[in-house]
Chain A
Amino acid sequence: MTAILEAAGLGKRYGRRWALRDCTLAIPAGRVVGLVGPNGAGKTTLLSLAIGLLTPTAGSISVLGGRPGGPSQMARAGFVAQDTPLYRRLRVGDHLRAGAWLNPRWDAERAWQRIEQVGLDPRQRAGSLSGGQRAQLALTMALAKRPELLLMDEPVASLDPLARREFLQGLMEAVAEHGTSVVLSSHLIADIERVCDYLIVLTGSRIRVAGEVSELLAEHHQLSGPRRDPDTLPAGQEVITESHTDRQSTLLIRTSAAVLDPAWTVRPVSMEDLVLAYMSRADDAPSARTALGVIS
């Protein structure tokens, strides 16, 4: 299977601060990828590099088989930026007309249909839309480009739960219908859990784990049992987090083999356990502590 997004040693530096570094990834096509991490972890930077709004400081990135940026690449990818920016003084209908003028692959019928479906008035100015309506219009604009890849930066962050559900539902319908690959960032695990089948955990400007959700869940286990030094575990069992009391140890490990030791009580992990484990492991590195401080 070919990768829709491939990065090798990708890094982006602002002055002396690395917003993203040593990022190596290969995302297969047809996935809905959840990019999760606290605010300031580098999610926006990674997505901006992928769409070509930013150029890398280090390493390389290839999207849809080419270097991001340039009109022909932009025509194949859709982007919904953070806070879903729109032209406040233009009407909803103006946005759709502009989209048709600016994109050769624009699907006008689909765009107008979708606007009607989500209940947007084409005559309303974008500046007077609610957060949920703005997100729907931005998503419509991105989908009407008939993108092979859709990149979205915190599209639901500012929405109320109902609008969030409607947005994600609309997204999933569109994805199911057209087989679009999606990368969507969020700091809310519940949203990622609902729609994503591929997970990337990004904290402190580094990727902590990336993979198919089903595989990740199958490979991670929570072990609890009598107190034990993690160094004595068999080879192939990687400890992600550990906590110990005087008599008991609780570990979250990654292994592709079954856990056979009868001393352990083995429990499966939820996506939330998994994400929190990788986040707190990153937190052990002092550089990541400040980034996690702003989690909401």
Chain B
Amino acid sequence: MIRFSLLQFRGQAITALAALLVAALVLVVTGAHLDYLFDVSGLAACHSAAGCPALAGQLLEKVRGYSPFQLLYWAGLYLVYVVPALVGTFWGAPLIAREIEAGTFQVAWTQSVSRTRWLVVKLALGGLASMAAAGLLSLMVTWWASRVDPLDPFGMNRLQPAMFGARGIVPIGYAAFAFALGVTAGMLIRNTVPAMAVTLVAFTAVEGAVIAWIRLHLIRPVHAVMPLNLATVQDVGNNVGAPASNGLFVSAPVAEPSGWVYSSQVLNAGGLTSLGPEPHACASGGPWQSCLTALGKLHLRQAVTYQPTSHYWPLQWAETSLFLALALLLAGFCFAWTRRRLTG
């Protein structure tokens, strides 16, 4: 059964291997140059807190000046997101749907191999290939960007939502889930093309939902309440529609280096979100410094919810495990369905 599955999967595997090889070639050649820029920057040997940022700035300047960099940086990012979706759509969805459509499941199921074994082999082979494809690509892109990512070249560190899923091991989980989702959709819908469309939409929806609502809670985030750092205040005003007596609004973005700030809130000295009236020094349009002084007298505090940089790998493992668990759940459903419903 394994050899037969390999035979069926041969075409897709060759396409994937060729694409990976092209990606590897491009990334190795350009990555070597990025490596060279890093080596000559002297950043590796730098240990002084004063000098390093300057060296990093110079390196970033050079990296940005390297013409393929910008294109490859974004292309790599998108590609790592796109590959799991492709794998689910073009490998997962047709796996069973095409056999049902063409009637060939009747050929497969009337050989001397149980249909459970048939599905085990098909799922395992396709699932492992999907994970390998996404994993290898992510590995290559992560290596390629490893010299540059710590510099936050586009103001995005690796814990930022847009970046997190394009580095490390998370794409492996995405690919396994997308593949299993495709297989399940194909089995239920029994038509290849609609199953492909449903897979693409459902996968994107689940991935989006996890990023928006679930990821933060996979590892308990840090909640911190600290005195408001006046140096970070960017804007002071009155909340639109709020009474002037209780409408003070302070915008002070929190910078957690290499972390992911999920929410931040300015609180009054008593810990409440209503901050009272806007100080006269601010409302009158006087000098900024006197406004800040007036704010300082309010003893404002700031509550922050964030994932610190130390949570990066635990979060990677947690999200990968979540998607692998979902994939296994779907696979289990596929087994039950093959046994019961497809036999009528």
Q: Give the distance in Å from the alpha carbon of A88 to the alpha carbon of B7 in the complex.
A: 13
Q: Which residue of A lies closest to B115 (CB)?
A: A69
* Given A89-B11, A90-B8, A141-B112 contact (CB < 8 Å): no
Q: Mark A102-137, 1 if CB is under 8 A from B, else 0.
A: 111100000000000000000000000000000000
Number of chain A residues close to chain B: CB under 8 A: 36
B109 adjacent to A102 (CB under 8 Å): no
Q: Is B102 an interface residue (CB 8 A)?
A: yes
Indicate which residue in A70, A88, A102, A141 contacts B4 across the interface (CB closer than 8 Å): A102
The minimal Cβ–Cβ distance linking B169 to chain A, given in whole angstroms, is 33
The minimal Cβ–Cβ distance linking B91 to chain A, given in whole angstroms, is 14
**CB-defined contacts of A97 to chain B, threshold 8 Å:** 3, 7
**CB-defined contacts of B112 to chain A, threshold 8 Å:** 71-72, 74-75, 102-105, 145
Q: Give the distance in Å from the alpha carbon of A71 to the alpha carbon of B116 in the complex.
A: 11
Q: Is A12 an interface residue (CB 8 A)?
A: yes
A51 adjacent to B110 (CB under 8 Å): yes
The minimal Cβ–Cβ distance linking A206 to chain B, given in whole angstroms, is 19
B344 adjacent to A86 (CB under 8 Å): no
Q: Is B113 an interface residue (CB 8 A)?
A: yes
A85 adjacent to B104 (CB under 8 Å): yes
Q: Is A37 an interface residue (CB 8 A)?
A: no
Q: Is A79 an interface residue (CB 8 A)?
A: yes
B111 adjacent to A88 (CB under 8 Å): no
* Given A70-B114, A72-B112, A89-B11, A101-B107 contact (CB < 8 Å): no
**Interface centre among B104, B106, B109, B113, by most A CB within 10 Å?**
B106
**For chain B residues 302-335, which have a beta carbon within 8 Å of chain A?**
none
B344 adjacent to A102 (CB under 8 Å): no
The minimal Cβ–Cβ distance linking B105 to chain A, given in whole angstroms, is 8
A53 adjacent to B7 (CB under 8 Å): no
Q: Give the distance in Å from the alpha carbon of A54 to the alpha carbon of B344 in the complex.
A: 6
Q: Is A174 an interface residue (CB 8 A)?
A: no
**Interface centre among A86, A87, A88, A97, by most B CB within 10 Å?**
A87
Q: Give the distance in Å from the alpha carbon of A55 to the alpha carbon of B114 in the complex.
A: 15
The minimal Cβ–Cβ distance linking A136 to chain B, given in whole angstroms, is 15
A82 adjacent to B103 (CB under 8 Å): yes
Q: Give the distance in Å from the alpha carbon of A71 to the alpha carbon of B111 in the complex.
A: 7
Q: Give the distance in Å from the alpha carbon of A75 to the alpha carbon of B113 in the complex.
A: 8
B3 adjacent to A14 (CB under 8 Å): no
**CB-defined contacts of B1 to chain A, threshold 8 Å:** 101-102
The minimal Cβ–Cβ distance linking A75 to chain B, given in whole angstroms, is 4
**For chain B residues 111-128, which have a beta carbon within 8 Å of chain A?**
111-114
Q: Is A176 an interface residue (CB 8 A)?
A: no
* Given A12-B344, A53-B343, A102-B1, A85-B106 contact (CB < 8 Å): yes
**CB-defined contacts of A89 to chain B, threshold 8 Å:** 11
**CB-defined contacts of A83 to chain B, threshold 8 Å:** 103
A98 adjacent to B104 (CB under 8 Å): no
The minimal Cβ–Cβ distance linking A199 to chain B, given in whole angstroms, is 25
B104 adjacent to A99 (CB under 8 Å): no
B104 adjacent to A101 (CB under 8 Å): no
Q: Is A238 an interface residue (CB 8 A)?
A: no
A interface list, Cβ under 8 A from B:
12, 14, 51-55, 70-72, 74-75, 77-79, 81-83, 85-90, 94, 97-99, 101-105, 138, 141, 145
Q: Which 8 A-B pairs have the closest CB atoms?
A: A85-B103, A102-B111, A75-B112, A81-B106, A79-B110, A103-B112, A98-B4, A54-B344
User: With A53-B106, A85-B104 given, can you name 20 additional A-B contacts, CB distance below 8 Å?
Assistant: A71-B114, A74-B110, A74-B112, A75-B112, A81-B106, A82-B103, A86-B107, A87-B107, A90-B7, A90-B8, A97-B7, A98-B3, A98-B4, A99-B111, A101-B4, A102-B113, A103-B112, A105-B112, A138-B107, A145-B111
